[in-house]
């Protein structure tokens, strides 16, 4: 994550901004039900996805749900249909907030306790990292992105972690949401990678209804 400051310094264009898709027009009597396509999901993930789609919170754009407790990523099209679901590697440390200024911090100075995947609603946008690799920014200032498992000494271990059944095995990243190369190419790149979207990251230390304002709105 610390490479973000270097990228800014040399003026490399990271974000490939795209205009937001127009809001989906509901047919008469359309109940606007989100479709998980038979995939298993927690009640919290289902509730947030249903709210995001039914209330048009994603504004007609593709969206994703990150369930940190189960280490799962669900990607939906603008029509509320599931495009794909997968296990995902997440931040090593438990927590729901990024350390202030973490996006400008050199990677070798980021302590294990600071490696969190922040929770909340994020406007996502396609971009590129310092190596020119296509990624999807979730929180640009905190240098949090959805990206594929990268080549290197840790690649094999991370690929193995993605296929184990335990959620604890998935807590290994610096905060980014890491998926297999195949899932990134076939699902992420073809939905969130083509324009702006919304990513909802469920909290693990806070109340999820409060996190997304559902209690106050009386949605649940």
pLDDT in tens, 117-139: 999 999 999 999 888 999 999 99
- Give the model's pLDDT for residue 109: 86
Highest mean pLDDT among 15-29, 98-112, 193-207: 193-207
- Give the model's pLDDT for residue 130: 80
| Domains delineated in the chain | 3-17+36-217 (2.40.440.10)
Q: What is the pTM of this model?
A: 0.83
Highest mean pLDDT among 16-30, 51-65, 145-159: 51-65
Are 140 and 15 in contact by the 8 Å Cβ rule? The answer is yes
Give, in degrees to the nearest 5, the angle at Cα 192 between 188 and 196: 170
Tokens standing for residue 168:
């604890």
For the chain, what's the residue count? 220
Segment 97-112, tens digit of pLDDT: 999 988 888 888 899 9
User: Which among 48, 34, 18 is positioned nearest to 125, based on CA atoms?
Assistant: 18
Inform me whether the pLDDT recorded for 184 exceeds 70. yes
Inform me whether the pLDDT recorded for 56 exceeds 60. yes
Inform me whether the pLDDT recorded for 25 exceeds 50. no
Q: Which of 84-88, 123-127, 161-165 has the lowest mean pLDDT?
A: 161-165
């Amino acid at each position: 994550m610390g490479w973000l400051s270097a990228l800014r310094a040399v003026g490399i264009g990271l974000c490939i901004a795209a205009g937001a898709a127009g809001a989906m027009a509901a047919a008469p009597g359309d109940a606007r039900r989100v479709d998980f396509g038979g995939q298993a999901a927690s009640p919290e993930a289902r509730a947030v996805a249903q709210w995001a789609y039914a209330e048009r919170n994603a504004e007609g754009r593709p969206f994703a749900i990150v369930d940190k407790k189960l280490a799962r990523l669900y990607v939906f099209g603008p029509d509320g249909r599931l495009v794909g679901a997968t296990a995902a590697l997440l931040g090593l440390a438990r927590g729901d907030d990024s350390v202030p200024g973490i996006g400008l911090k050199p990677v070798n100075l980021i302590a294990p306790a600071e490696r969190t995947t922040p929770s909340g609603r994020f406007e996502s946008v396609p971009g590129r990292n310092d190596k020119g690799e296509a990624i999807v920014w979730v929180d640009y200032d905190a240098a949090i992105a959805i990206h594929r498992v990268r080549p290197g000494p840790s690649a094999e271990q991370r690929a193995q972690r993605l296929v184990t059944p335990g959620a604890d095995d998935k807590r290994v990243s610096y905060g980014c949401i890491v998926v297999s190369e195949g899932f990134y190419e076939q699902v992420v790149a073809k939905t969130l990678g083509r324009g702006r979207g919304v990513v909802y990251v469920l909290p693990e230390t806070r109340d999820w209804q409060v996190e997304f304002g559902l209690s106050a709105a009386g949605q649940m």
